[in-house]
Amino acid sequence: MSKQSLDRILQSQGFGTRKWCAGLVAEGNVSIGGEIVTDERQRFETDGLEFSVYGEPWLFREHVYLALHKPADYECSRKPSHHPGVLSLLPEQFSNRDVQPVGRLDHDTTGLLLMSDDGSFIHKQSSPKHHVPKVYVATTHDPVTPQLVAQLLQGVKLNDEPAPLSAVLCETLDEHRLKIVLEQGKYHQVKRMLAAAGNHCSALCRTQICELKLESLGLAEGEWCYLDEAMLASLKPAV
């Protein structure tokens, strides 16, 4: 455990510059244990620290780990160009503390998106060498056939890839939907693989990462939640 001054604590949690946070405290906007604190230099143990700002409760977190049910027409970028960014769906404090998407989903792709300010976590979840399986449900323009599934499992050649890319698992859900599991995380991979196999992806949703399922989180599109210890354990890479 470590003690920090209240202004530093608030700064680390994304409430603004240290000077701004000192002003928040001096104006009586911060309370701990139900008591207003007005001395920004007062020190507190950060482990398990609960506080409120403008009456809204917060828990001190060294890092934040989030799951977002990404809607369509949002960009996974801190500097979006054509659509709103996914960070606009989160409290401002997360953007201030450099929370960012773990990998990317296309603007028109929906589903499970992880976000964090922990660089090590982001690397382990997004690096192909860690073999993190991601499950997608793809809606196709043309009917799904056994031949299409076989092609995706066997591997298809993409123009900018030296070797064919294959699905870890692929199965038919209904006439125009298939479940596909990938580990590589290449640019537009599902869409490009379907195109290379002679079909077209008309809609795409990421439903699962490792053992963490979007359905189990109970999030509507645009909603987010903190990841608890059990959820983080379910995201442990295979290697």
Instruction: Give buried/exposed letters for 78-113 (b at 16+ CB in 10 A, else e).
Output: eeeeeeebbbebbeebbbebebbbbbbbbbebbbbb
- Which string of DSSP letters, residue by residue, matches 138-200? EEESSPP-HHHHHHHHH-B--TT-SS-B--SEEEEEETTEEEEEESS--TTHHHHHHHHTT--
Cα-based distances in Å from 88 to 12, 65, 66: 20, 16, 14
Dihedral (C-alpha) 28, 30, 34, 37: value to the nearest 10 degrees?
-60
Residue tagged active-site, from 7, 47, 98, 106: 106
Q: Is the dihedral of CA 107, 113, 114, 115 positive or negative?
A: positive
Instruction: Give yes or no: 142 in active site.
Output: no
Identify residue 37 by its one-letter amino acid code: V
Please give the positions annotated as active site. Answer: 106
